Amino acid sequence: MTRVRFAPSPTGFLHIGNLRPALINWLFALKQGGEFVLRFDDTDPERSRTEYAEAAKQDLSWIGIEPHLVRYQSERTALYDAARGRLIDMGRLYPCYETAEELDRRRKRARALGKPPIYDRAALNLSDAERAAFEAEGRKPHWRFKLDGRAITFTDLVRGESHVNTATQSDPVLIREDGSYLYTLPSVVDDIDMGITHVIRGEDHVTNTGAQIELIEALGGTVPVFAHHNLLSDAEGHGLSKRHGALSLGDLRGAGYEAMAVAIMAVLTGTSEAVAPHADLDALAEVFDLSKVSRAPARFDPSELDALNARLLHTTPYAAVQNRLEVMGISDAEALWLAARENISKLSDIEDWHRIVTGPVEPVIADEDRGFLNEARDLLPPEPWDGDTWKAWTGTLKDQTGRKGRGLFLPLRLALTGRPDGPELRSLLPVLGRKACLDRLS
Ligand code: GLU
């Protein structure tokens, strides 16, 4: 069974750039009939906040992502401790006592000598007495994973055949001085424990994949399939960071964007599939494929989101918005919706048209049109009205008055709606009804 995971660290609100891996995983699971795990990477007690985790669940649910399983790494320490013990027994995890300043000095020295700034494994050669001396000084060790240092090859579902040579990397630190776990060990232990079959994430993790494969193998796990997608960036090519407040999912929702518009932008930007309306996540899953993800950065253009939001609404059926309209106090409004949906770019714009239909409206009537509008009022057909009423009415008016085109239609629109533009009057007329039309034409 396919099982994927989205593993955000709850250190800020999710933004559209974080939504990209979340949704790509979700669509992948959807298409394969698999499962999606939401796994909070909250092992850093300093920076992780429950509020952010709660907000992330709500944001994902707004988009339509309902995880099969939610897990918090902060509650799974026993598993990581067990792995830690096994790695120490195998001689793959070793204590280091260097301070950050010492490491920094060594890196600078290596660079000055034209050598790669790789950790020199000095701590591996410490004697028991030297270790004891450090401990007596009050130093606490951090722990590094001893890499094999080899060429690792994997087939990435986005990037194809990929190579990472761990011989060119420092042994990664898995455990901090205070005993807390950095991202790598919990992530690998959980991927094994949860039976994750596909690790789909941003391409900023490609270089981590080598050490992670080594760690998975050391712990006797099955190496999953990897896929690393391009990251959403702004117009200048800068990554969208968590602090990019205006693009947080909560803000986008508050600004009245459709969840589907946000979802489509998050997924299809930077792929060979055009950004276009899709009714729901199932439809989006149909057109999306990892093989369509581009290698170039995915540039997110907020004006494209605006345009897509409008395009989506223009074809949205009434049933899909009925509940939300009712919350806005607009009920029984199918005819209004169908008449006005092509004139809105955010759902809340429908309120203007609702007000124009229900009134009061200040009709705009020029002196020279008064006679014409009186005639128009007298020629209003009897109800019931339908989609043909407008044509019949204005046809008669044209014959009677000789007016045509703009001279015929604009005064009617201004009198009936108080505005020079808007939905087709053909559809709007039956929504207005005869009584409102009589009043406004008078
Ligand atoms: N917390 C990591 C991140 O958000 C997870 C990376 C991964 O998917 O392995 O980048």
Q: How many whole angstroms from 13 Cα to the centroid of ligand 1? A: 15
Task: Give the mean pLDDT per block of 10 residues along the chain (442 residues).
Answer: 97 94 98 98 92 98 98 98 98 96 92 91 95 95 97 97 96 96 97 98 96 98 98 83 70 96 98 96 97 93 96 97 96 96 97 94 95 96 95 96 95 97 96 96 94
Residue with CA at minimum distance from ligand 1 atom 4: 8
Atom from ligand 1 closest to the CA of residue 18: 4
Q: Residue ranges per domain, the chain?
A: 91-150+163-175, 318-358, 367-441
Residue with CA at minimum distance from ligand 1 atom 3: 8
- For residue 101, give every residue at least 6 positions away whose Cβ sits within 8 Å of its Cβ, in sequence order, or none: none
Q: How many whole angstroms from 228 Cα to the centroid of ligand 1? A: 11
Count other C-beta atoms under 10 Å from residue 89's C-beta: 9
Atom from ligand 1 closest to the CA of residue 199: 8
Query: What does each C-alpha distance from 212 to 160, 170, 207 come to in angstroms?
Result: 18, 13, 9
Q: How many whole angstroms from 184 Cα to the centroid of ligand 1? A: 9
Fold type of domain 367-441: Arc Repressor Mutant, subunit A (1.10.10)
Q: Which two tokens stand for residue 63?
A: 């988009």
Which of 201, 204, 213, 226 should be mutated for ligand 1, with most atoms under 8 A from CB? 201
Query: What does each C-alpha distance from 176 to 85, 125, 191, 314, 399 come to in angstroms?
Result: 15, 20, 21, 53, 87
Atom from ligand 1 closest to the CA of residue 187: 9
Which of 5, 14, 36, 41 should be mutated for ligand 1, with most atoms under 8 A from CB? 41
Q: How many whole angstroms from 328 Cα to the centroid of ligand 1? A: 38
Atom from ligand 1 closest to the CA of residue 9: 1
The pLDDT of residue 247 is 82
Q: Which two tokens stand for residue 55?
A: 């907000």
Q: How many whole angstroms from 39 Cα to the centroid of ligand 1? A: 10
Q: How many whole angstroms from 201 Cα to the centroid of ligand 1? A: 7
Q: How many whole angstroms from 7 Cα to the centroid of ligand 1? A: 5
Q: How many whole angstroms from 172 Cα to the centroid of ligand 1? A: 16
Cis amide bond preceding 360, omega within 30:
yes
Q: Which residues line ligand 1 (CB under 6 A)?
A: 7-9, 41, 183, 187, 201, 205
Q: How many whole angstroms from 304 Cα to the centroid of ligand 1? A: 27
Atom from ligand 1 closest to the CA of residue 21: 8
Atom from ligand 1 closest to the CA of residue 212: 9
Residue closest to 220 by CA, chosen among 83, 386, 391: 83
Residue with CA at minimum distance from ligand 1 atom 10: 8
Using DSSP bridges, classify how beta strands 93-96 and 142-145 pair: parallel, antiparallel or unpaired. antiparallel
Residue with CA at minimum distance from ligand 1 atom 6: 7
Which of 9, 13, 192 should be mutated for ligand 1, with most atoms under 8 A from CB? 9
Fold type of domain 91-150+163-175: Glutamyl-tRNA Synthetase; domain 3 (3.90.800)
